[in-house]
Amino acid sequence: MAELSFYSAAGNRFAVLDCFERLPADPAALALELCRRHGLDGLLLGARPTQGGACRMLVYNRDGSRAEACGNGLRALARWGLESGHVGPEHGFTIETDVGPRQVTCFLRRNQVQAVATELGVPRLVAREERIALSAGEVTATLVDMGNPHCIVFVPDVARAEVASVGSELEHHARFPLRTNVSFVERAGARLLVRTWERGVGETAACGTGIGASAAAALSAGLVRAPVEVGTRGGRLSVDWDGQGVLRLTGPVEALPVA
């Protein structure tokens, strides 16, 4: 097997497989095995670029399914790309993804990557007040497309949100034929608190595109101002968006010991 590296992006845990020489024969099965063995949220394949970027990212969830986009995965892969030498000495470069090229920037302290910022594309608000019937009642959600689908539910107390039960039911709801990610969002003064049930994964310590979608929903509703700090179980991140252009996510990335 090619070289494996492990990273935590605000608590979102990934294995990164160096695929510059070749892709694995069955990446879905490999993702299932690695995530089960190491308690990870997903497998990232770092591959040769095909459209002029510095490298290419392919994402496999914990259940072996493919994800179109992954914000924290992008940030983890950016650190890997810089430290592996695949992207040269530049601290800013482009990663190719299934939803298009994404510009990333690594911030260093004492020659070590401390944080990574990434563009997540232009959010698309699909619906602002979508009423969705569930087994225990009805929820009102904001639906946001970040290149992958997100269902945002605002709650008064995110710590008490029924993330597992409601998140799982929404993920598999008939309204979302391709399933969806579900974020529960609390406005706490000028910042947001977010918990996310990720499609194909379950609840994670943080979800990059979920954080971006949550911020986009809150900013578009006038609940907070940009840049907005977002608290998750895995750490604090920052989202900047002007309401029209590209949304930008910044947060920590840590290298984990090779298991």
Q: Could you read off the pLDDT of 17-69 as tens digits, one per residue?
A: 999 999 999 999 999 999 999 999 999 999 999 999 999 999 999 999 999 88
Q: What is the pLDDT of residue 43?
A: 98
At which of 90, 121, 152 does a domain end? 121
Distance CA(215)–CA(192), nearest Å, equals: 8
115, 146: one domain: no
8, 68: one domain: yes
128, 169: one domain: yes
31, 44: one domain: yes
99, 167: one domain: no
Is residue 258 one of the residues assigned to a domain? Answer: no
Strands (E), the chain: 4-9, 12-19, 42-47, 55-61, 66-67, 92-97, 100-109, 112-119, 124-134, 137-145, 149-154, 181-188, 191-198, 202-204, 228-232, 235-240, 248-252, 254-256
Distance CA(85)–CA(101), nearest Å, equals: 20
- DSSP secondary structure letter of residue 73: H
Domain count, the chain: 2
SS3 readout for 215-250: HHHHHHCCCCCCCEEEEECCEEEEEECCCCCCCEEE
Closest CA to 209 of 99, 113, 80: 99
212, 115: one domain: no
201, 160: one domain: yes
Is residue 188 one of the residues assigned to a domain? Answer: yes
End-to-end CA distance of the chain: 14
Q: What is the pLDDT of residue 55?
A: 96
Q: How many CB atoms lie within 10 A of CB 198?
A: 26
The strand pair at 228-232 and 191-198 is best described as parallel
The Cα angle at residue 103 between residues 61 and 209, in degrees rounded to 5: 35
Q: What is the pLDDT of residue 109?
A: 85
Q: 224 lies in which domain range?
A: 124-243
Is residue 259 one of the residues assigned to a domain? Answer: no
179, 147: one domain: yes
Respond yes or no: is residue 207 known to be catalytic: yes
At which of 121, 153, 184 does a domain end? 121
- DSSP secondary structure letter of residue 63: T
Given a contact cutoff of 8 angstroms between Cβ atoms, the answer to whether 74 and 102 are in contact is yes
CA separation (Å) from 230 to 19, 138, 177?
Answer: 33, 26, 29
The strand pair at 254-256 and 4-9 is best described as antiparallel
Q: What are phi and psi of 60, to 5 degrees?
A: -125, 130
23, 89: one domain: yes
Distance CA(171)–CA(155), nearest Å, equals: 17
Distance CA(102)–CA(122), nearest Å, equals: 11
Q: What is the pLDDT of residue 1?
A: 52
The rounded mean pLDDT for the chain is 95
Q: What is the pLDDT of residue 259?
A: 64
Q: What are phi and psi of 219, to 5 degrees?
A: -65, -40
147, 225: one domain: yes
Q: What is the pLDDT of residue 50?
A: 94
Q: What is the pLDDT along the chain (259 residues), one digit of tens a residue?
A: 568 999 999 999 999 999 999 999 999 999 999 999 999 999 999 999 999 999 999 999 999 999 988 999 999 999 999 999 898 777 899 999 999 999 999 999 888 888 999 999 999 999 999 999 999 899 999 999 999 999 999 999 999 999 999 999 999 999 999 999 999 999 999 999 999 999 999 999 999 999 999 999 999 999 999 999 999 999 999 999 999 999 999 999 999 987 6
Segment (H or E) for 38:
helix 27-38
Give the CATH number for residue 24.
3.10.310.10
At which of 121, 139, 162 does a domain end? 121
pTM of the entire predicted model: 0.93
> Active-site residue among 19, 35, 55, 70?
70
Is residue 250 one of the residues assigned to a domain? Answer: no
65, 93: one domain: yes
Respond yes or no: is residue 70 known to be catalytic: yes
> Active-site residue among 19, 55, 151, 207?
207
